[in-house]
Amino acid sequence: MLQQTRTADVLQDILAKIGNHHFPVMERTIIALKKACTKDDAKTEEITHIVSRDPGLTLYLLRVCNTKLNSSLRSEITSISQALMMLGIKQVSQLPAKLPNLDKTLKDQAKHRLLTTFSRAYHAAEQATEWAHYRRDMNTDEIFVATQIHFIGEMALAMIYPDKLAEIDRLRRRRQIASEEAQYLVLGFAINQLSYELARKWELPSLALEALKPENAKYPRAYSVMLAVQLARSAAVDWHGGKTQVIQNQIADFLDIPIAKIATANHKLAVDVARQTHFYGVFPAAALLPMLDDPLEEETIQAKNPNEHADICLMPQRDVLKNIITNIENSEIKRTMKELIHLVLQGMHDGIGLNRVVFATRNADKQTMVPYSIKGADNDPGFNRFTIKLHKENLFGRLMQKTQAIVINNKTRSTFWELIPKDFKKLVVTNSFLAMSIFVKGEEIGFFYADRHTIDCQIDDTSYRLFKSLCTSAIAAMEQLDSLHLRE
């Protein structure tokens, strides 16, 4: 097991340092914008094109425009073109004098890291937009913007803690540690968590916020953003590694396009993006591609090992778990059901050291369990589409009859493995997990699920005991709530 960073204050430190400051904009963008705005026949399309290639300016416009909308009846600004129309050419022409200049405000390491993130953000946005066209989405510009916004946490880290991003990269490349675990080991939280906090603070578009919550993978537009972000990040390490190939297969399933066809299309678009954005001056994802003259064979796409990363078993943090349980059991604290669920998931992930944790509830048809909240799977869009069909003969159908817990590990697998739905086994790609159904005063609430992500990190008896203890404390706390409704 590896000891993860225990600096939860890093998140608040970054938020405080960013404050209300804007991300810097490339000098090239400032010059191009000034030139375009001085034309007598300045066109919105030309300015939109300039803005779209500079995520710093995209964020500036979305922040400024959505902050200006104070009415409760407001219609949010969700695209670059909408923002430009709201400001008007006159105000846009004044921007070059106001914008912070990236080339003059950042030192070499921070500048390089931020430009690398800009490159990934633009690549991801272009991929997501292309898939939106396949899906005949009515507003592809919203998809583009939401995808770029997904990277704001990484942009903030690039400016303030570029060394931490470098350490995450080293863990991923040299020690083959999965992205989610690398982020948690270095930062103590997932980068998406920082992105969400910034997007919420700055009142950025709702689709961007939706796509930053893993449980929203059930929504096609949010899922497409998640897939594009993961493809851009994984391809920047290895286009033909197992992680990238899993994502390519997920994209193929999502779009209902053969894997060889969509993978080739994604590769070609990456090359186009690299040619369009050579001015970033960083290593583009397309540079890792082989020659594209020959069509990719489906066997080649599927031959890679999807579990080639190193297995990281997070260590329990007993003091963190103790503090969370004390918090949960404090009857004087007023909280909602939603807040309590999130606190319990934090205890499972940060306290017990379980990599992926879920609280699931029945959907509208009452026959399927779907995620209400997920922690520890921000970089796993496929897992985030977590669903379980309930049948009286399968393990979960039996589990949901009353409050009870189960552990699947080397000791119990022979007894229960055949009761687990095949689709669920394929989804989780591990053979060891925990689950406990939650009933309060005879009313079914849902169930908690947790695992350690990989087969080599098995669930031990101590983790099972702590998991049950935490769930039991949660039930006692739920009994004291004014309302058990989860949609508050």
pLDDT of residue 449: 98
Q: Are residues 337 and 284 in the same domain?
A: no
Q: Are residues 164 and 257 in the same domain?
A: yes
Q: Are residues 127 and 181 in the same domain?
A: yes
Q: For residue 487, is it within any domain? A: no
Q: Choose one of 302, 330, 360: the last residue of a domain.
A: 302
pLDDT band at 43 (very low <50, low <70, confident <90, very high): confident
pLDDT of residue 14: 84
Residue with tokens 């880290």, as numbered in its chain? 157
Residue with tokens 């009452």, as numbered in its chain? 366
Q: What DSSP string runs through 332-352?
A: TS---HHHHHHHHHHIIIIII
Instruction: Flag whether pLDDT at 56 surpasses 50.
Output: yes
Contact call for residues 448 and 359 (beta carbons, < 8 A): yes
Average pLDDT of the chain is: 89
Q: Are residues 208 and 342 in the same domain?
A: no
Q: Are residues 128 and 13 in the same domain?
A: yes
Q: For residue 53, is it within any domain? A: yes
**Burial class (CB within 10 angstroms; exposed 0-12, middle 13-18, buried 19+) of 290:** exposed
Q: Are residues 223 and 285 in the same domain?
A: yes
Instruction: Flag whether pLDDT at 377 surpasses 80.
Output: yes
Which of 427, 436, 428 lies closest to 463, judged by CA? 436
pTM summary value: 0.89
Q: For residue 310, is it within any domain? A: no
pLDDT band at 240 (very low <50, low <70, confident <90, very high): confident
Q: Are residues 270 and 183 in the same domain?
A: yes
Cα-based distances in Å from 385 to 56, 222, 271, 370, 427: 31, 11, 30, 8, 9
What are the tens digits of pLDDT across the range 283-327?
A: 999 999 864 444 444 333 343 444 455 456 778 899 999 999 999
Most confident of 67-71, 126-130, 389-393: 126-130
Q: How far apart are CA 276 and CA 278, in angstroms?
A: 6
Q: Choose one of 302, 329, 347: the last residue of a domain.
A: 302
Q: Are residues 371 and 408 in the same domain?
A: yes
Q: For residue 4, is it within any domain? A: no
Q: Where are the alpha helices (DSSP H) in 19-139?
A: 27-37, 44-52, 55-68, 80-93, 95-98, 102-105, 108-134
* Domain limits for position 407: 318-478
Q: For residue 238, is it within any domain? A: yes
Strands 433-440 and 388-389 come out as unpaired
Kindly state the average pLDDT of the residues 410-422.
95
Instruction: Flag whether pLDDT at 483 surpasses 90.
Output: no
CATH number of the domain bearing residue 472:
3.30.450.40
In one letter, which amino acid is 6?
R
pLDDT of residue 95: 87
Kindly state the average pLDDT of the residues 392-407.
95
Q: Are residues 91 and 178 in the same domain?
A: yes
CATH number of the domain bearing residue 149:
1.10.3210.10
Looking at the chain, the whole-number percentage of residues with pLDDT higher than 90 is 73
What are the tens digits of pLDDT across the range 263-290?
A: 999 999 999 999 999 999 999 999 998 6
Q: How far apart are CA 174 and CA 171, in angstroms?
A: 6
Q: For residue 39, is it within any domain? A: yes
Contact call for residues 466 and 321 (beta carbons, < 8 A): yes
In one letter, which amino acid is 307?
N
Q: For residue 87, is it within any domain? A: yes
Q: Give me the number of domains the chain comprises.
A: 2
Q: How many CB atoms lie within 10 A of CB 455?
A: 13
pLDDT band at 430 (very low <50, low <70, confident <90, very high): very high
Q: Choose one of 257, 278, 302: the last residue of a domain.
A: 302
pLDDT of residue 8: 54
Segment (H or E) for 435: strand 433-440
Instruction: Flag whether pLDDT at 252 surpasses 50.
Output: yes
Q: For residue 3, is it within any domain? A: no
pLDDT of residue 295: 40
Q: Are residues 253 and 353 in the same domain?
A: no
Which of 345, 341, 249, 331 lies closest to 298, judged by CA? 249
Q: Are residues 298 and 363 in the same domain?
A: no
Kindly state the average pLDDT of the residues 412-440.
95
Instruction: Flag whether pLDDT at 35 surpasses 70.
Output: yes
Kindly state the average pLDDT of the residues 382-407.
94
Q: Are residues 50 and 155 in the same domain?
A: yes
